[in-house]
Amino acid sequence: MADLFKMLDTFRQMQGKLQTAQDDLSRRSFTGSAGGGMVTVECDGKMMLKRVKLERTVVNPDDIEMLEDLIAIASAEAQKKAADAMQEEMGKLTGGMDLPFKLPF
């Protein structure tokens, strides 16, 4: 029974550290770019899009598809950086141990 309480206490501590890591990452900013920096996208650690910056020269009304593609590419890069940072933080908390469930990010 004591082992169960110790395991529950360890889980609570880990859960608290996980929440702290998620909170810290949600305040961080991750940037992705495409088109040689003509499109820049910023998201937070929750992978929520915060800002899109476009160079004037990339805005061509005759080629909207290219602009859409560049925004998608830059967004994916920023979100991947955020996901990688979260994965790295989780690896630190779990000591590289695989969890028997998928985390919600």
| CATH number, domain with residue 86 | 3.30.1310.10
More confident of the two residues 62 and 1: 62
Whether 7 maps to a domain, the answer reads no
> Left if phi > 0, otherwise alpha if psi is -120 to 50, otherwise beta: which for 35?
left
Q: What is the pTM of this model?
A: 0.74
Within a domain: 11: no
Give the model's pLDDT for residue 100: 55
Flag whether 20 is in a domain. no
Token look-up 């998201």 returns 43
* Residue reference for tokens 């779990």: 94
Tell me if 50 is assigned to some domain.
yes
The side-by-side arrangement of strands in the sheet containing 49-54 is 29-34, 39-44, 49-54
The region of weakest confidence among 62-66, 85-89, 92-96 is 92-96
4 occurs within a structural domain:
no
Q: Is 8 domain-assigned?
A: no
Residue 10 C-alpha from the chain's centroid:
26
Distance between CA atoms of 81 and 7, rounded to whole angstroms? 33
- Based on the structure, what is the number of domains in the chain? 1
More confident residue, 57 or 104: 57
Taking the C-alpha atoms of residue 57 and residue 37, their distance in angstroms, rounded to an integer, is 11
Confidence of residue 4 (pLDDT cuts 50, 70, 90): confident
pLDDT of the residue at 86 = 85
The reply to whether 5 falls in a domain is no
Q: pLDDT, tens digit, for every residue of 32-84?
A: 999 999 999 999 988 899 999 999 999 999 999 999 999 999 999 999 999 99
Which pLDDT band, with edges at 50, 70 and 90, does 104 fall under? Answer: low
Range of the structural domain that residue 77 is part of: 26-92
